[in-house]
Amino acid sequence: MSYSLKATDKQIEAMLDYYKNEAKNNTVPYAIAQIKKDRVTITLYNSKKVLFQGKNAEHELQFWEDTFNLKNTQGDYFMSSIGSDESGVGDYFGPLTVCAAYVQEKDELFLRDLKIDDSKRLSDAWIKTIAPKLIKRIPYSLLVLSNPDYNRQIDKGYNAHKLKAYLHAQCHQHLLKKITKKPPIIVDQFCSEKLYISYLKSFKNAPHPTIFKTKAESHYASVAVASIIARYSFITQLDVLEKAYTMTLPKGASKRVDEAVGDFIKKHGVQELNQVAKLHFKTTYKHKA
């Protein structure tokens, strides 16, 4: 596999410093340096082009894209595609939400104006501002697995990855029917492609994603949009639960969450946790003990 990115002088300098112990005698025409390591060859050219080749090329490229906070190095950030992402998977309180969104190249200016990004980097307040605008303009499919339904599926033997695979596939299927087109499908990778496919053996006509990529929301606008809508749905649903139980239900799985679980049990009883929490988290067993 071969990938490339265009770097600045400072970025080239940083890469040369990072690889200084692995640089080889350079015999490549027009190249500043060549590095060989871990089944990947990195060639830095005078033109500021950096070429990654080998089995680990994509992994090495992604490291530098993340380090330099780069997007669209391959020129396809705003490519027409269906992207999908989820929210709530690492949160003890609240549902699991999965969204697939169809972004077209013609949406680029609209999305640039909104300064879309991975929802994990955006404040809840900003997500609440831009998500309704995305929902109005971008075709999407959203599925929300409530806490009782989530816990029921876990009790049946599903794990979180298999649940996510099913929800992603359902969102893809629903959205493909809406748009009556067959664009590439991009999944924010949460397990290997082989495992993802194995999870969907019993799913009839499951759409097969074109691209599995970790941190895909930083590389494709369609996944970034799906990430924002999924997060918007999650925080909206969590707001509803907080109002229903008249108490704060913190996000994540922190010490603050542990304290909130204790308060919740005192106020509403341990059985009621099924309505607001993902019970297979260690937090539940700690409090039950």
* Residue 15 included in any domain: yes
Domain hosting 161: range is 81-240
**What is the distance between the alpha carbons of residues 17 and 274, in angstroms, rounded to a whole number?**
52
For residues 196-209, one letter each, b for 16 or more C-beta atoms within 10 angstroms of the residue's C-beta and e for the rest, the string is: beebbeeeeebbeb
Domain boundary among 221, 240, 259: 240
Domain of 9, CATH number, reads 3.30.310.10
- Total-model pTM: 0.76
Whole-number pLDDT of residue 254: 85
Model confidence pLDDT, tens digit, residues 238-284: 999 999 999 999 999 888 999 999 999 999 999 999 999 999 998 88
* Residue 75 included in any domain: no
231 closest CA partner among 111, 139, 94: 94
Whole-number pLDDT of residue 239: 97
In the chain, which stretches have pLDDT less than 50? Answer: 72-74
3-state secondary structure of 146: coil
Do 11 and 24 belong to one domain? yes
Do 103 and 214 belong to one domain? yes
Cβ(234)–Cβ(95) below 8 Å: yes
* Residue 73 included in any domain: no
For residue 203 the two structure tokens come to: 């799913």
Do 25 and 62 belong to one domain? yes
Per the structure, how many domains does the chain have?
3
**What is the distance between the alpha carbons of residues 271 and 286, in angstroms, rounded to a whole number?**
15
Whole-number pLDDT of residue 73: 46
CA atoms within 13 A on the CB side of 254: 5
DSSP 124: H
* Residue 115 included in any domain: yes
Model confidence pLDDT, tens digit, residues 125-151: 999 999 999 999 999 999 999 999 999
92 closest CA partner among 238, 270, 263: 238
Domain boundary among 16, 40, 67: 67
* Residue 30 included in any domain: yes
Do 87 and 210 belong to one domain? yes
Do 210 and 164 belong to one domain? yes
* Residue 74 included in any domain: no
Beta strands 185-188 and 211-213, pairing class:
parallel
Do 250 and 235 belong to one domain? no
Phi-psi map region of 38: left, alpha, beta (phi>0 left; psi -120 to 50 alpha): left
Residue whose structure tokens are 């603050």? 256
List Cα–Cα distances, 204 to 169, 172, 193, 200, 252, in angstroms. Answer: 10, 13, 18, 8, 34
